[in-house]
Structures are given as C-alpha cells and as structure tokens.
Structure 1
C-alpha cells in the first residue's frame, strides 16, 4: 500500500484512492469492496455509530494487505474511525490483478481478515436509546 494512503483515517474515505494505489498497466481487473454504515443491526434501528481503533490498528491492516499480495496481485485497504453517519463509508479494500477471478477472491479474503484480526471496535447507538459495542472479540 502506498505510504501516502493512511490505513486508518478519521476523515471520509474515497474508494478511488485505494484503487489508484493498486492499479498498474498489467491489471485486467480492479475489485473494490466498500463497506458503508447501515441503518440497522439485526432487528434494531441504528441512529449513530462510532469506530475506535487500537493505536497499532494501521499496522495490523497493513499486515493483512501484505499477506495477500503477490507479484501479480496488489492490495490496499483503509478503515475509518470516529463518528460516522448512516451511509458513510467505513472501510475500503481494493485489489488489482491480471484477471477478475483472482481479484474477487483476494478481495473477499482481505475483508474477512480485516474483520477478524484488525483491532477496530464499533459502538452503535440504537433508536430506543440504548447502545452496544460490536466486534468486542477483535
């Protein structure tokens, strides 16, 4: 991932930034996953959301990307922290490769790994006034 592209950001994310970080002339495919804040979790209406990250979360995210890179496959990812609104972009993963099948597979593997190992926590506030942490085991 380009050093100009922060892994963890407190400002809005632009998926095109990750795409530009991975694209080369050798690529026939760029697959981008963009995760957004939804207005519900299970059967509960979400009204507000905050992401918090461990100080080394960026290192974890960079490691996930590095583990999925090969000579032909490039990977970039970013995750947002702070207060987000419904519809805001929370996470972006971009993968470029010579062929689409590999780009899709790697993109899915990267977002799954991000959710499993990067220490980022989500605090949701619900319409009924209650709130709860999500991803507490990460």
Structure 2
C-alpha cells in the first residue's frame, strides 16, 4: 500500500522562506529512517505557488484554462510531499506521526492519503498490463 503525506503550505513557505538548518537536519534524519526501513518511495519540497500555474477545465470537453500563481488560500496549497510504501494504514499513520513539524513553528499540517493502485481503478486486463509496462519503464529509467 502506498500513502502520500501531503505537507500543507504555510505563510512562510508561500513567501519563499527556506527551512532552518535545524529543520533540514530533522527532515534528513527522518528521511534516512524511512530509507533504512525500506518504505520511502519519494520525498520532495515544492516551490511557492508564485512559481506555479493552475490548470482548470471549466467546461466539459472544452479548452483548459491556465491561471498563474500565486494562489490565495494557503490551506489549499501543497508545500511538499512524501510517498511511502507500507503494509497498512496504521503503519502509514505511525510514520506520519514521526515526521517533524514540516514548517518548524507549530504551523505544520500533514494530510495522509492512500494512493490508488491500478486494480482498484479497473479490472481490464489490457489496462492493467499497460500500467505494469509503464511502471517497468520507469524502473528501468531510474536504474540508468
């Protein structure tokens, strides 16, 4: 089971304030623990929404609309994410609860969401085979 720990943005992260050395050290230690446990899939911080675009589809079948950032509501913005692969939701919760406050000032908020696996979305053998092939291609590319 894969889970994403979504780190919500704060006023500081949206203003481009970089994490302190202490917070970077704590996050590095946490990520090292995830690696040692063999559960880390990915972990990244994101630049502020002032460097982003939002693409919406306001009309079914119509052209997408592009809006440049920044975006106003920080509670709806993501500052970073960690993806882990674990055996259960309980294990994912344990790891999420161990993550240091992602903003370091008591402003951190983490949302834990399970990632859909292909068989949960479709039972079509052709689509499942395509999904497996795409994952194999990604794995081969990562090994280069």
State the TM bucket, normalised to the shorter chain: 0.3 to 0.5
Under a length normalisation based on structure 2, what TM-score does the superposition of the two structures give?
0.39
Greater helix content? 2
Under a length normalisation based on structure 1, what TM-score does the superposition of the two structures give?
0.40
Does 1 or 2 have the higher relative contact order (CA < 8 Å, sep 6+)? Answer: 2
Greater strand content? 1
